[in-house]
């Protein structure tokens, strides 16, 4: 009898340096970036696996991986009577591979010797920096039913997004016939697909690769070791070549999915969680997002008007008004402060009263947001100290810049982790 837990292993790619998400990735990898106030990005693919009964998971890491390694070590523990695990495979130099990972395919190739110690039929390859809720069991069952060698999860996209993705076309049996990586706008007309009436009504006429792949075990070994031993990337090299030789299926996904590729998409994805009925549903009993269990006190809120706001545990809030914002764990917000369309990541610790008094004598603000501040269109990274009467007004009127305390990208102000903004500071 087929069993997902015994037949599938999952490999989550930790990604590269994450320069487009700078400064959030200045000291952490992309999958370790906090999202939705209390999670990390890597919790999303891991949770999707666990909810799909796939519990043998490898996470491949390379850049700024210390905080990611710590999070996974402290979070994912399976029963002693289970075969489940979440193991970290860090980039390592060996006599055969003296260099670091050169791309997605090269990362999996270098780790095959560790992955192959397990018994499995299929390898599910995922990205560590996407936001979605997907049943991988359905995708794997369709892969088996079609007798496919490879399956690619695809999502319909519109004209604006298509040039950013690998775009493909499939036949009436959903078998992929052609693939192009990041096509130019001038040739998009040649890549229109029948994505279904509802998707076409929304102008989503192109099938984009989600970077989610299923490989039959023997074929993956052959592709990486024998056929294309120098290929470094799945999307640019392995997939286009495999479509010509093997049975490659498209699994169309019509739910919510976003690639957290830059500051603007990260900001939009977080703020969208405050919608009355968000596209990404944190409150679905069947699609739990797992993360580290913290023994935090309940939040304390006094005198604050909250409008479409997500508040994490352990917060102490005396703000005047918070609107369309996400407030992370242990966040502290002072009296008279207004926060609009912002993401406060919160803090890793609480300051004691003696520490607050000692810092006040040195002119150092408390951890958190001070009194009478105004913050709009901003991301405040962890452990920042923002003084009283600080004004941060993000928007398209601001030019892109990188300051020692903050970065501005596409109108979004990102206060860097641990930054200290003195009283009266204005952006």
Write down the pLDDT at residue 240.
87
**pLDDT at 29 > cutoff 70:** yes
pLDDT single digits (tens) 235-262 = 888 988 899 899 999 999 989 999 888 9
The residues spanned by each domain of the chain are: 4-274, 300-421
Q: Are 45 and 13 in contact (CB under 8 A)?
A: no
* Residue 123 bridge partners (DSSP): 9, 215
pLDDT single digits (tens) 64-85 = 778 888 899 999 998 888 888 8
pLDDT band at 1 (very low <50, low <70, confident <90, very high): low
Question: Mean pLDDT over residues 406-418, rounded?
Answer: 96
pLDDT band at 118 (very low <50, low <70, confident <90, very high): confident
CATH number of this structure's domain 300-421, picked from the four choices 1.10.3720.10, 3.40.30.10, 1.10.1740.10, 2.160.10.10: 2.160.10.10
Q: Position of tokens 């994450």?
A: 18
Write down the pLDDT at residue 55.
93
The tokens describing 336, both together, are: 């008279």
Q: State pTM to two decimals.
A: 0.93
pLDDT band at 133 (very low <50, low <70, confident <90, very high): very high
CB atoms within 10 A of CB 25: 21
Write down the pLDDT at residue 100.
63
Write down the pLDDT at residue 394.
96
pLDDT single digits (tens) 337-346 = 999 999 999 9
Q: What does the alpha-carbon distance between residue 389 and residue 94 come to, in Å, rounded to a whole number? A: 54
Q: What does the alpha-carbon distance between residue 415 and residue 204 come to, in Å, rounded to a whole number? A: 35
Question: Mean pLDDT over residues 181-203, rounded?
Answer: 88
Question: Mean pLDDT over residues 313-326, rounded?
Answer: 97
Q: Pick the closest to residue 374 from 349, 352, 353, 395 (CA basis).
A: 395
Question: Mean pLDDT over residues 101-130, rounded?
Answer: 87
Question: Mean pLDDT over residues 95-107, rounded?
Answer: 72
**pLDDT at 132 > cutoff 70:** yes
Q: Is the peptide bond before 48 cis (omega within 30 degrees of 0)?
A: no
Name, in order, each residue with C-beta under 8 angstroms of 309's C-beta and a sequence gap of 6 or more. 274, 322, 323, 324, 325, 326, 327
Q: What does the alpha-carbon distance between residue 323 and residue 308 come to, in Å, rounded to a whole number? A: 6
Question: Mean pLDDT over residues 308-316, rounded?
Answer: 96
CB atoms within 10 A of CB 285: 6
pLDDT band at 401 (very low <50, low <70, confident <90, very high): very high
What is the chain's mean pLDDT, rounded?
A: 91
pLDDT single digits (tens) 356-380 = 999 999 999 999 999 999 999 999 9
Q: What is the DSSP string of 323-389?
A: ES-EE-TT-EE-TT-EEES-EE---SSPPPHHHHHHHHHTTPPPSEE-SS-EEESEEE-TT-EE-TT
75 burial type by CB count under 10 A (0-12 exposed, 13-18 middle, 19+ buried) = middle
Which DSSP category does 246 fall into? S
Q: What does the alpha-carbon distance between residue 29 and residue 63 come to, in Å, rounded to a whole number? A: 6
Write down the pLDDT at residue 182.
86
Write down the pLDDT at residue 129.
86
Write down the pLDDT at residue 252.
92
Write down the pLDDT at residue 138.
94
Element (H, E) at 139: helix 136-146
pLDDT single digits (tens) 5-25 = 789 999 999 876 668 899 999
pLDDT single digits (tens) 80-92 = 888 888 988 876 6
pLDDT single digits (tens) 327-337 = 999 999 999 99
Write down the pLDDT at residue 94.
63
Q: Are 281 and 39 in contact (CB under 8 A)?
A: no
**pLDDT at 398 > cutoff 80:** yes
Q: Pick the closest to residue 236 from 104, 380, 398, 391 (CA basis).
A: 104
Write down the pLDDT at residue 307.
96
pLDDT single digits (tens) 138-180 = 999 999 999 999 999 999 999 888 998 889 998 888 999 998 8
Q: What does the alpha-carbon distance between residue 10 and residue 55 come to, in Å, rounded to a whole number? A: 8
Question: Mean pLDDT over residues 107-136, rounded?
Answer: 90
Q: What does the alpha-carbon distance between residue 82 and residue 64 come to, in Å, rounded to a whole number? A: 30
Q: How far is CA 15 from the centre of its chain?
A: 10
Write down the pLDDT at residue 92.
63
Superfamily of domain 4-274: Spore Coat Polysaccharide Biosynthesis Protein SpsA; Chain A (3.90.550.10)
Q: What does the alpha-carbon distance between residue 296 and residue 319 come to, in Å, rounded to a whole number? A: 21
Percent of the chain with pLDDT over 70: 96
Strands (E), 217-289: 248-252, 257-259
């Amino acid at each position: 009898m087929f069993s997902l837990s015994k037949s599938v292993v999952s490999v989550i790619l930790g990604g590269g340096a994450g320069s487009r998400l700078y400064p959030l990735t200045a000291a952490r990898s992309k999958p370790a970036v906090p999202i939705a106030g209390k999670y990390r990005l890597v919790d999303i693919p891991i949770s999707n696996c666990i909810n799909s009964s796939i519990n043998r998971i490898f996470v491949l890491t390379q850049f700024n991986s210390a905080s990611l390694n710590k999070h996974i070590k402290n979070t994912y523990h399976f029963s002693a009577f289970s075969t489940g695990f979440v193991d970290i495979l860090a980039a390592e130099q060996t006599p055969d591979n003296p260099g670091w990972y050169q791309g997605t395919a090269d990362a999996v190739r270098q780790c095959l010797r560790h992955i192959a110690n397990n018994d499995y039929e299929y390898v599910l390859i995922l990205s560590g920096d996407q936001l979605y809720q997907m049943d991988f069991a359905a995708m794997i069952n369709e892969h088996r039913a079609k007798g496919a060698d490879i399956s690619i999860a695809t999502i319909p996209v519109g004209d604006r997004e298509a040039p950013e993705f690998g775009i493909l076309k499939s036949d009436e049996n959903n078998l992929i016939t052609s693939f192009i990586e990041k096509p130019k706008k001038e040739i998009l007309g040649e890549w229109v697909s029948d994505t279904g009436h509802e998707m076409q009504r929304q102008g989503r006429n192109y099938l984009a690769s989600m970077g989610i792949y299923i490989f039959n075990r023997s074929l993956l070994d052959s592709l990486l070791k024998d056929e294309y031993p120098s290929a470094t990337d799945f999307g640019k090299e392995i997939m286009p070549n495999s479509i010509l030789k093997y049975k490659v299926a498209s699994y169309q996904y019509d739910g919510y999915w976003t690639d957290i590729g830059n500051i603007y998409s990260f900001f939009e994805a977080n703020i969208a969680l405050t919608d009355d009925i968000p596209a990404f549903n944190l409150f679905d009993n069947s699609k739990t997002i797992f993360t580290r269990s913290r023994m935090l006190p309940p939040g304390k809120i006094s005198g604050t008007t909250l409008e479409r706001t997500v508040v994490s545990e352990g917060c102490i809030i005396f703000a005047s008004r918070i609107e369309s914002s996400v407030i992370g764990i242990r966040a502290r917000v002072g009296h008279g402060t207004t926060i609009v369309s912002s993401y406060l990541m919160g803090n890793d610790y609480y300051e004691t009263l003696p520490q607050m008094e000692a810092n006040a004598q040195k002119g150092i603000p408390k951890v958190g947001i001070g009194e009478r501040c105004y913050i709009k269109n901003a991301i405040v990274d962890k452990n920042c100290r923002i003084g009283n009467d600080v004004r941060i007004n993000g928007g398209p009127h601001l030019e892109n810049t990188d300051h020692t305390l903050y970065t501005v990208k596409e109108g979004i102000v990102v206060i860097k982790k641990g930054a200290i903004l003195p009283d009266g500071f204005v952006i």
